[in-house]
Structure 1
Amino acid sequence: MLATLPVFAALLARASGSPKSRTTHSNIILDNGAEFEAYHPPNTFEVFETGIDTPLSTRATKPHFKDNALSFLHSRLGSNAVQYRSGYEGDVAAHVYVHQQFNGIRVANAVANVAQNKAGKVTSFGSSFVQSPRNVASPTPKISSSQAVNKATAALGGALIPGRDVQLEYLATDDGDVVLVHVVPIEFTDGKNVLAYVNAASGVVVSVITQTFDATFRAIPPTLNNPNDGFALIENPEDPLASPNGWTTINGVDTHATNGTNIRAIVYTTKATIPESSDDVWDSTWDPTVQPTVAANTRAAGINSFHLANVIHDITYRYGFTEEAFNFQGNDPIIVNVQSTIGTNNAFFSTAPDGTSGQIHMLLWTLTTPRRDGDVENDVLAHEWTHGLSTRLTGGGVSTCLNTLESQGLGEGWSDSFADWLAQTSEDLKDFELGAYVFTKGIRTKPYSVDPTINNYTYSLFQQSSTDPHFFGELWAEVLHLQLDALIKEHGFADDAHTNPDSTAGNVVWLHLFIDALALQPCNPTFLQARLAWIQADANRYNGANKCLLWGIFAGRGIGVNADSSHVDNFDLPADC
Structure 2
Amino acid sequence: MTLFSTPSGRRALVLATALALPGLAAAQQPAPTAALSAFAAKGKAQGLTAADVANPIITSSYFDASTGLTHTYLQQQVNGLAVFGATGAVHTDNTGKVVFSTQDFVKGAAAIAPSATPALSPDQAVAAAALGLGLPRPVALRTVTDARAADGVVFNNGGISENDIPVRLMYTRVDDKLVLVWNVTIAQLDQQHHWNARVDAQTGRLVEQNDYTVSEQTSFNQFRLNAQRKQEKALAYSQAATPAAPLSVTGTTAAGSLTVIPLPLESPSQGSRTAVPLAPVGAPYSPYGWHVAQAPAGTYADSYSFLSTGKYITRGNNVAAYDDNSNTVSGPGATNYATAASAPDGGSTLNFDFPFVQSTGARTNLNAATTNLFYVNNMMHDVMMAHGFDEASGNFQYKNATGQGVGGDPVRAESQDGSGRNNANFSTPNDGTSGTMQMYLWDNQSNNLTITGTGTGAAAVAGVYRFSTVAFGPSLSKKPLNGKLVLVNDGVSADGGDHGCKTYVNAADVQGNIAFIQRGGCPQLQLTPKMTNAFATKVKLAQANGATGVIVFDSLATTNQVNFGGTDTVGIRIPAIFISGADGFKLRAAMLNGATLNGSAQTVVNADWDGSFDNGIMSHEYGHGISNRLTGGPNNSSCVLQNVGTSTAPIYTQCMGEGWSDFFALWMTTKPGEDGSANRYVGTYVEGQTSATGPGIRTKPYSTKFSSNNLTYGAISSTSQYGTGYQESHSLGEIWTSTLWDLNWQFIYKYGYNTDIYGSTGGNNKLLKLVLDACKIQVCNPGFLDGRDAILRADSLTNRAANSALIWNVFARRGMGYSALPGDRINGTPRASNIKEAFDLPPTVKLVALASKNTTGVGPALEAYPNPAQDRLTVRTQLNSAAPIQVAVIDLLGKTVLQASVAAAQMQQSGVELNTSRLATGLYVIRVTTTEGNFTTKVTIQH
For normalisation by structure 2, the TM-score amounts to 0.38
| C-alpha distance in 1 between matches for 2:791 and 2:839 | 17
- Match in the other structure for 2:795: 538
Deviation of 1:569 (Å): 2.1
CA contact (8 A) 1:413 1:475 kept: yes
Structure 1 equivalent of residue 413 of structure 2: 336
Alignment of 1:124-273 (within 5 A): 215-228=256-269, 229-237=271-279, 240-249=283-292, 252-253=300-301, 256-269=312-325, 271=337, 272-273=342-343
CA offsets, 1:173-201, max 9 Å, x none?
xxxxxxxxxxxxxxxxx999xxxxxxxxx
The AA in structure 1 aligned to 2:637 is S
Do the aligned partners of residues 490 and 546 (structure 1) sit closer, same or farther apart at CA in structure 2, a change above 3 Å counting?
same
Code of the aligned partner of 2:375: H
Equivalent residue for 1:459, pick from 713, 717, 736:
713
Instruction: Provide the secondary structure at the position in 2 that maps to 1:509.
Output: helix
2:9 aligns with 88
SS of equivalent to 1:247? coil
Partners of 1:537 and 1:232 lie apart in 2 by 38
**Separation in 2, partners of 1:450, 1:408:** 23
Determine if contact 1:517/1:530 at 8 Å carries over to the other structure.
yes
Do the aligned partners of residues 282 and 89 (structure 1) sit closer, same or farther apart at CA in structure 2, a change above 3 Å counting?
farther
Aligned pair 1:438/2:686, yes or no?
yes
Q: CA deviation at 1:533?
A: 0.5
Deviation at 1:407, TM superposition (A): 5.3
Instruction: Write the distance in 2 (CA, Å) between the matches of 1:478 and 1:312.
Output: 21
Partner residue of 1:299 out of 367, 372, 389: 367
- How many Å apart are 1:482 and its aligned residue? 0.3
Q: TM-score, normalised by structure 1?
A: 0.61
Following TM superposition, by how much is the alpha carbon of 1:367 offset from its aligned partner in structure 2, in angstroms? Answer: 3.4
AA at the equivalent of 2:629: R
Select the residue among 339, 345, 348 that pairs with 2:422. Answer: 345
Cα 1:345/1:533, change in 2 over 3 Å: same
Contact 1:444 1:471 in 2 (8 A): yes
Per-residue deviation at 1:474?
0.4
Q: How far apart, CA to CA, are the structure 1 residues paired with 2:699 and 2:714? A: 16
- Structure 1 residue matching 2:687: 3-state secondary structure: coil
Q: CA distance change for structure 1 residues 279 and 90 in 2, over 3 Å: closer, same or farther?
A: farther
Q: How does 1:67-82 map to 2 (within 5 A)?
A: none
Is the partner of 1:343 in helix, strand or coil? coil
Distance 2:358 2:737 in 1: 31
Deviations 1:127-150 (A, max 9, x none): xxxxxxxxxxxxxxxxxxxxxxxx
Structure 1 position 376 matched with structure 2 position 613 = yes
**1:407 and 1:536, CA in 2 relative to 1: closer, same or farther beyond 3 A?**
farther
Q: Secondary structure at the match of 1:496?
A: coil
Query: How far has the Cα of 1:288 moved from its partner?
Result: 1.0
1:495 — aligned with what? 755
Pair 1:403-2:641 in alignment? yes
Q: Secondary structure at the match of 2:414?
A: strand
Decide which of 378, 388, 404 is 1:310's aligned counterpart: 378
Match of 1:521 in 2: 778
- 734, 738, 742: which one aligns with 1:474: 734
Distance in 2 between residues matched to 1:511 and 1:336, nearest whole Å: 24
Q: Does the aligned pair in 2 maintain the 1:220–1:226 contact within 8 Å?
A: yes
Distance of 1:191 and 1:374 partners within structure 2: 26
Instruction: Determine the structure 2 residue equivalent to 1:366.
Output: 443
Contact 2:279 2:289 in 1 (8 A): no
Look up the match of 1:555.
812
Matches within 5 A, 1:42-57: none
CA deviation string 1:529-564 (max 9, x = no partner):
011011111111111100010110000010001100
Change in CA separation of 1:233 and 1:408 when aligned onto 2, cut-off 3 Å: farther
Matched, 1:417 2:663: yes
Measured in 1, the distance between the counterparts of 2:756 and 2:416 equals 32
Q: Which amino acid aligns with 1:88?
A: G
Q: Structure 1's 478 and 261: CA in aligned 2 closer, same or farther, altered over 3 A?
A: same
* Structure 1 unaligned blocks of 5 or more: 1-64, 70-86, 93-117, 119-189, 193-212
Q: What is the CA–CA distance in structure 1 between the aligned matches of 2:792 and 2:255, rounded to whole Å?
A: 41
The 8 Å contact of residues 349 and 361 in structure 1, kept in 2 or not, is answered as yes
Q: Counterparts of 1:301 and 1:408 in 2: how far apart (Å)?
A: 35
Separation in structure 1 between the aligned mates of residue 638 and residue 836 of structure 2, nearest angstrom: 29
Cα contact 1:395–1:401 (8 A) shared by 2: yes
Distance 1:519 1:409 in 2: 15
Q: Give me the whole-angstrom Cα distance separating, in 2, the residues matched to 1:278 and 1:408.
A: 50
Structure 2 residues not aligned, in runs of 5+: 14-155, 157-240, 244-253, 307-311, 327-336, 399-407, 446-605, 644-651, 689-693, 824-833, 846-943
**Equivalent position amino acid for 2:358 in 1:** P
Greater than 4 Å deviation, 4+ residue runs? 404-409
Structure 1 residue 364, shift from structure 2 partner? 0.5
Q: Does 1:274 align with 2:344?
A: yes
CA contact (8 A) 1:462 1:472 kept: yes
Q: CA deviation at 1:340?
A: 0.4
8 Å contact from structure 1 (residues 214, 236) kept in 2: no
2:357 alignment partner AA: D
Quote the Cα distance in structure 2 between the aligned partners of 1:568 and 1:559: 9
Secondary structure at the counterpart of residue 607 of structure 2 = coil
Q: Give the aligned partner of residue 207 of structure 1.
A: none
Q: Secondary structure at the match of 1:366?
A: strand
Secondary structure at the counterpart of residue 575 of structure 1: coil
Aligned to 2:401: none
Greater CA deviation, 336-345 or 564-573? 564-573
1:400-437 deviations in whole A, cap 9, x for unaligned? 11115775641000000001011112352343210001
Report the Cα distance in structure 1 between the residues aligned to 2:356 and 2:268, rounded to whole angstroms.
8
Q: 1:512 to 1:306 in 2, by over 3 A?
A: same
Distance 1:390 1:357 in 2: 15
Contact 2:394–2:629 at 8 Å: present in 1 too?
Answer: yes
Task: Verify the 8 A CA contact 2:620 2:661 in the aligned structure 1.
Answer: yes
- The SS at the match of 1:244 is strand
Q: Is the 8 A contact 2:258 2:351 kept in 1?
A: yes
* Contact preservation (8 Å) 1:407, 1:527: no
Partner of 2:612: helix, strand, or coil?
helix
Q: Does structure 1 retain, via aligned residues, the 8 Å contact 2:395–2:626?
A: yes
- Any idea what the Cα deviations from partners look like across 1:104-140, whole Å, max 9, x if unmatched? xxxxxxxxxxxxxx9xxxxxxxxxxxxxxxxxxxxxx
Distance 2:314 2:654 in 1: 31
Query: Post-superposition shift, 1:261?
Result: 1.2
The structure with the largest alpha-carbon Rg is 2
Q: 1 or 2 for the larger relative contact order (CA 8 Å, sep ≥6)?
A: 2
Which range moved further: 532-541 or 271-280?
Answer: 271-280
Which residue of the partner structure matches residue 127 of structure 1?
Answer: none
Offset of residue 236 of structure 1: 3.8
| TM superposition shift of 1:91 | 12
- Alignment of 1:284 with 2:538, yes or no, is no
Q: What amino acid is aligned across from residue 835 of structure 2 in structure 1?
A: H
Paired amino acid for 1:401: C
Q: Distance in 2 between matches of 1:510 and 1:237?
A: 25
1:328-351 alpha-carbon deviations (Å, 9 max, x no partner): 112001100111011100000112
Per the alignment, in what secondary structure is the counterpart of residue 335 of structure 1? Answer: strand
Instruction: Provide the secondary structure at the position in 2 that maps to 1:340.
Output: coil
Which residue of 1 is the match for residue 238 of structure 2?
none
Which of 835, 849, 853 is the aligned partner of 1:567? 835
Instruction: Find the aligned partners of 2:661 and 2:10 in 1 and give their Cα distance.
Output: 31
Shift, 1:301, TM fit: 0.3
